[in-house]
Amino acid sequence: MDRIDSMRLFTRVVERRSFTAAAADLGLPRSSATAAIKQLEERLGVQLLRRTTRHVTTTLDGEAYYHRCIGILADIEDAEGTFGAHEVRGRLSIDINGNMARTLVIPELPALLARYPGLSVHIGEGDRFVDLVREGVDCVVRAGTLPDSDMIARRIGMAREATVASAAYVERHGLPRSLDELAGHLMIGFVSSRTGQVMPLEFTVDGKIREIVLPSRVTVSNSDTAATLVRQGFGLYQAPRRRFAADIEAGRLVEVLPGNPPTPTPISVLYPPSRQLSPRVRVFVDWLVEILGPKLDASSSS
């Protein structure tokens, strides 16, 4: 293994805190990864890593060497990435909401892979907190206001939100015509992964946001489950309008208080500073803005 490959392996071991995970990411036998790091330490004449039965940590020398390697590898990837699309290669690991992945990203994915034949993609689906560096994830796509972090964030677009209920629910409980008429109605409680609390419904009134919490007989932490529950008549629910556009058009769902919509939801892609110059991340982020931006903007005006 040459010096550059040794650096790539070393940085992945540090980020994953595991020889086994790092070796799997790079398609190497664990024994080869262990031997390569041992040879690296012998060549440098210092101990870079501390091994325990549970995980791997850096020594002070290892931490310093890691940061030097990150800079060197970023420069190499940036230099190689300037010589054409065919040079963008390797495995890109992303995490994205499942519905967005299936309805907006995956249908366009063949074009991305045709554009960059050397690129492969792993798609994780979720809204949970992801430690990008430790879990070996290159970037995540998230909806909503982002918490403060050291991640780099790029806004993709704004998704129009809507309040919906099933036609059967409206037949049983009536259609509220004002916020005051929401009294006595139910909502599907969506539990925030950040706070652990049920998120209130949002309504725009004279340019200001009013939050209302209705009783919930069912609470969930997954948007796909919530979508199923609203279709089955368990209560009111707020989500990107594009998700339920076909249901609304077909009459299966009814838009509630369309004159008092929830605030649009920002959609962003986040990645760690160490991935900032990676050609794989750069072309993927640009592609996301290219394919999702117009769709989100179009949904805002529909």
Which of these ranges, 108-117, 123-132, 177-186, 265-274, has the smallest mean pLDDT? 123-132
The domain ranges of the chain are: 3-81, 87-156+267-301, 161-263
The pairing of beta strand 208-212 with beta strand 152-159 = unpaired
CATH 1.10.10.10 fits 3-81, yes or no: yes
Only one residue has tokens 């993609």, namely 121
pLDDT in tens, 182-201: 999 999 999 987 788 999 99
pTM over 0.85: no
Q: Dump pLDDT digits (tens) for 135-173.
A: 667 888 988 777 667 788 888 888 899 999 999 999 999
CA-CA distance, 297 to 232, in Å (whole number)? 29
CA distance 130 to 175: 39
CATH hierarchy code of domain 161-263: 3.40.190.10
Rounded-to-integer distance, Cα 252 and Cα 232, Å: 10
Tell me if domain 87-156+267-301 and domain 161-263 are identical in fold. Answer: yes
The more confidently predicted of residues 70 and 124 is: 124
Give the integer Cα–Cα distance in Å for 208 and 203: 8
In this structure, what are the phi and psi dihedrals at residue 46, rounded to the nearest 5 degrees? -140, 160
* Structure confidence at residue 301 (pLDDT): 42
**Homologous superfamily of the 87-156+267-301 domain (CATH):** Periplasmic binding protein-like II (3.40.190.10)
